[in-house]
Chain A
Amino acid sequence: HAATTLKISHQFPGGTIDKGDFRDRLCRMFAAEVAKRSNGDIAAEIYPNSSLIKTNAQFSAMRKGALDISLYPMPYAGGELPETNIGLMPGLVTTYDQGMRWKKEPVGKALTDFLADKGIILLSWVWQAGGVASRSKPIVAPEDAKGLKVRGGSREMDMVLQTAGASVLSVPSNEIYAAMQTGACDAGITSSTSLISFRLEEVAKSLTSGAGASYWFMLEPLMMSKAIFDKLPKPQQDVLLTVGTELEAFGRKGAQDDDVEVAKVYEKAGAKVSALDAATVGKWRDIARDTAWKDYSAKTATAANLLKLASDVGA
């Protein structure tokens, strides 16, 4: 019998270790690998689909020690800790290489220390690029968004979109499909994986893919409750951290595969697929720098420091 049973929660569709959403697979691989490395001392149960705990409540539950582990979109915690919005700052991260470099640079240490102080341990860094599905013309450059009703999905993205002349719309993620089908919403921005799982290709005429470069990168790490982590013996802690780090390559590959897959899916459904280039991403970043970045660094001293350190990481 396992000495420690850890509960891993996430909000994504559940599958098996070989098939399904890569974020669910990452959790399952993590569970299998820690069981193996700890000789069965650590067992982990996966709860997909927010079936254990509501999406937004996961972060706070981990901080309190009521939930062990979650693969959690970090900026979702932005209401509780505004600093976490750095995990989805438009234009701040534009390639996977740049995102993955964070961990080793000063920004990585600053973020890790900050989160540890708030009761969260980062086990595995996962970045995901996003794109735009639109029911009319493609939204590639900021000027394309003018006059359209767009669901940005985060405070920072909404600010950028509004400056670009779009009217932003707050639609819960499970209503995007219906809203786009009826036309209440013209376009939605989200991760490639979600663009696939929401089946927006059925209602979209164009897709802007983030495969090459994107202004939308979200940090979606596997995180753990520090209260629980600290109670484990050192060898078990080491197993968790090592396996987490080793799975980062899988996470990156999964995210990038979906960036390619989403284009295929939308193309097959007859949508026009466009790509972003560095120059266009630069245009978005310029808007973001004056709006979202400014708003973010004005929030707390830690936020300002994190943003400064993050913008030092070269693309």
Chain B
Amino acid sequence: MSHGPLPDRDDQANAAARTGLAAAIDRGLAILNSIIVVFAAIALIAACAILSYSVLSRALFKAANYWQDEAAVFLLVGATFMTAAYVQQNRGHIGIEAFVGLLSPLANRIRLWLVDAVTFLFCAFFAWKSWTLAHEAYVDGQVSNSMWSPPLAIPYSLMAFGMSLLCVQIIVQLALPFAGARRP
């Protein structure tokens, strides 16, 4: 009824040798995604370390804690949006498939393609609005309202970049069936 990620489907999804532009972009994206995952993992651990540091420094040295929460938020927001494409690559954004048994195989293929197309439209809209938000924040010099005051353009751009990457990922997944590959 539902499709979720199978364990390490990313390894299988790219196993079949494919040719064509879509397949080439797909391989490129896979490499990019695995690099991003490394950085996201580092960001997660860094967020843990920063929060722990704020606990320790306060307990031991009564040190102020004015940038730690925000730094952790930026790292975690960045990690979340930047890995959205990686998760999509593995079909890890979970959905509920209630109609799968009611439709013919062809109808199901069309349905899945439509689902991806609508997902793309939404994500493209979101990515576009994220870029305008990031641009606005950059031009106006918007900062986070704290003693540390980091520019808001940083998390907004991470959101925009992550959502754009997600769009590219979905386009490739939309195009692959035409390049002769099957939807995993």
Contact = CB atoms under 8 A, between A and B. Distances in A.
B66 A147 contact: no
B8 to A, nearest CB: 37
Contacts of A75: 145
A162 interface: yes
B65 A79 contact: no
A239 interface: no
B140 interface: yes
Nearest to B133: A60
Contact of B145 (A147, A149, A154, A162): A154
Contacts of B144: 79
B17 interface: no
Interface string A149-192: 10000110011001000011110000000000000100000000
Given A149-B58, A155-B149, A79 B143 contact: yes
Nearest to A64: B136
B171 interface: no
Contacts of B97: none
A139 to B, nearest CB: 15
A80 interface: yes
Interface in B118-165: 140, 142-147, 149, 152
Interface in A123-169: 147, 149, 154-155, 158-159, 162, 167-169
Contacts of B146: 155, 158, 170
A270 to B, nearest CB: 27
Contact of A170 (B62, B63, B70, B149): B70
A166 to B, nearest CB: 8
B interface bracket (residues with beta carbon within 8 Å of A): 10 to 19
B64 A167 contact: yes
Contacts of B149: 79, 155
Contacts of B58: 149, 167, 169, 184
Nearest to B137: A80
Contacts of A80: 140, 142
Contacts of A266: none
B66 A78 contact: no
A162 B62 CA distance: 11
A284 interface: no
B111 to A, nearest CB: 34
Contacts of B62: 147, 149, 167
Nearest to A148: B62
Contacts of B64: 158, 162, 167-169
A161 B68 CA distance: 18
Given A162-B64, A167-B58, A79 B147 contact: no
A195 to B, nearest CB: 21
Contacts of A167: 58, 62-65
Contacts of A78: 145
A274 to B, nearest CB: 23
Name the residue in A80, A85, A170 with the highest tally of chain B Cβ atoms < 10 Å from its Cβ. Answer: A170
Given A149-B58, A158-B147, A159-B147, A79 B66 contact: no
Contacts of B66: 158, 162, 168-170
Nearest to A169: B65
B141 to A, nearest CB: 8
A296 interface: no
Nearest to B57: A167
Interface string B43-66: 000000000000000100011111
A267 B167 CA distance: 58
Nearest to A85: B145
B140 A170 contact: no
B65 A168 contact: yes
24 contacts: A76-B145, A77-B145, A78-B145, A79-B142, A80-B142, A82-B143, A85-B145, A149-B58, A149-B62, A155-B147, A158-B66, A158-B147, A159-B147, A162-B64, A162-B66, A162-B147, A167-B62, A167-B63, A168-B64, A168-B66, A168-B147, A169-B58, A170-B146, A184-B58
Interface of A: 75-80, 82, 85, 147, 149, 154-155, 158-159, 162, 167-170, 184
Query: Which 4 A-B residue pairs are closest in the complex by CB-CB distance?
Result: A79-B145, A78-B145, A158-B147, A167-B64
